[in-house]
Structure 1
Amino acid sequence: MKIVIINYGAGNIQSIMFAIERLGFKAVLSNNPDEIKAADKVIFPGVGEASSAMKMLLESGLETLIPNLKQPVLGICLGMQLMCNKSEEGNTKGLGIFDVDVIKFTPKLKVPQMGWNQIYNLKSPLFEGINENEYMYLVHSFYAPNCPEAIATTDYDVEYASALQKHNFYGTQFHPEKSGDVGEQILANFLKLKD
């Protein structure tokens, strides 16, 4: 199986590569459109700020490639947020894959939300064998509100979509690669998905 992690300058790549290796697979880091299109599975990572990350996607021409991919694609953290319509962070236009806008947590909350929080209302093959209310690791100041494409929910004073799915596109606000055995099971489930 060919697994490609999209390399567009947004961090968090090493921990994803290690998590995939622990599952017995090898991932390739690439920004080559032909290599990405030829992959069986694509992971779209992201740590950082939305507008500068989007600028890097635009400069590499990947903003037109990603929404047209046909194989299973997993966006993680900022990767998931960039797959939405737009983000309040830097007033950034997203890739428009998920029909929801990313907004900032209210000022009364401690941001970023950093640490472990529960996921529930799990509805996808991505969560096969995962119990409701498992704890996942999150670091974020912006979130996607609950919407029809939500496949997991988390509560941080407000309930929000901690995972999204539309067709072959999946996104997790949490970091499966930093969430212990449960997170690795979610990555394994993603790698098992059929087109």
Structure 2
Amino acid sequence: MKIVIINYGAGNIQSIKFAINRLGYEAVLSHDVKEIQQADKVIFPGVGEASSAMKKLEDSGLDKVIPLLKQPVLGICLGMQLMCNSSEEGNTKGLGIFDVDVVRFSEKVKVPQIGWNQISNLKSDLFKNIAEKEHIYLVHSFYAPICNETIAESEYDLNYSAALGKDNFYGTQFHPEKSSEVGENILRNFLKLETAK
């Protein structure tokens, strides 16, 4: 199985690569369009600021490539947010894969939300054999509201999308690579997903 982690200069991708290695697989870091298109599984990470990360995608042409991918694609943290229609962070237009707009948490709560939180209302093979209320690790100031594509929820001031799913595209607001055994199981489930014919 060929696993490609999109390397577009946004975020700590080595920790994702190590997490894949721990599961017994090899992953390639790449920004090569052909290599990404030919992968069996694609992971789209992201840590940082939305508008500058989006500019890196546009500069490399990956903003046109990612929405057309047919194999399972997993966006992580900022990667998931960039797969949405837009983000309030830097007034950024996203890839439009998920039909929801990312917004900032209210002034009532401390941002970023850093640390462990629970996930619930799990609705996808991504969460096969994952129990409700398991703990996952997050670092974020912006969130995707609950929408038709929400496949897991978390709560911080309000309920929001901890994960999104549509067709072959998946996104987690949390970091599975930092979420202990639960995160490893979610990554394992992603790697077992079938490519839609």
Instruction: Give the TM-score taking structure 2 as reference length.
Output: 0.99
Q: For residue 11 of structure 1, report the CA deviation from its aligned partner.
A: 1.1
Provide the residue aligned with 2:63 in structure 1: 63
Give 3-state SS (helix, strand or coil) of 1:152's partner: strand
Unaligned 5+ residue runs, structure 2? none
- Equivalent residue number for residue 154 of structure 1: 154
Q: Deviations over 1:142-165 (max 9, x none)?
A: 000000100000010110000000
Paired with 2:18 and 2:131, the residues of 1 have a C-alpha distance of 24
Write the letter of the residue equivalent to 2:88: E
Mapping of 1:62-81 within 5 angstroms? 62-81=62-81
Corresponding residue for residue 173 of structure 1: 173
Show the counterpart of 1:116.
116
Map of 2:9 onto structure 1: 9
Gapped runs of 5+ residues in structure 1? none
Which residue is equivalent to 2:38? 38
Distance 1:58 1:49 in 2: 15
AA matched with 2:107? P
SS at structure 2 position matched to 1:43: strand
- Whole-angstrom distance in 2 between the partners of 1:93 and 1:193: 29
Measure, in 2, the Cα distance between the counterparts of 1:146 and 1:133.
17
Aligned CA-pair RMSD: 0.3
Who is 1:182 aligned against? 182
Greater shift, 69-78 or 8-17, is seen at 8-17
**Distance in 2 of aligned mates of 1:158 and 1:60:** 36
Instruction: Give the distance between the partners of 1:178 and 1:10, measured in 2 at CA.
Output: 17
1:103 aligns with 2:103: yes
> Percent identity between the aligned chains?
74
What residue is the counterpart of 1:88 in the other structure? 88
Q: Distance in 1 between matches of 2:12 and 2:149?
A: 25
1:11-61 per-position Cα deviation (integer Å, ceiling 9, x unaligned):
120100000000000000000000000000000000000000000000000
Matches within 5 A, 1:128-139: 128-139=128-139
Aligned partner of 1:29 in structure 2 is 29
SS at match of 2:148: coil
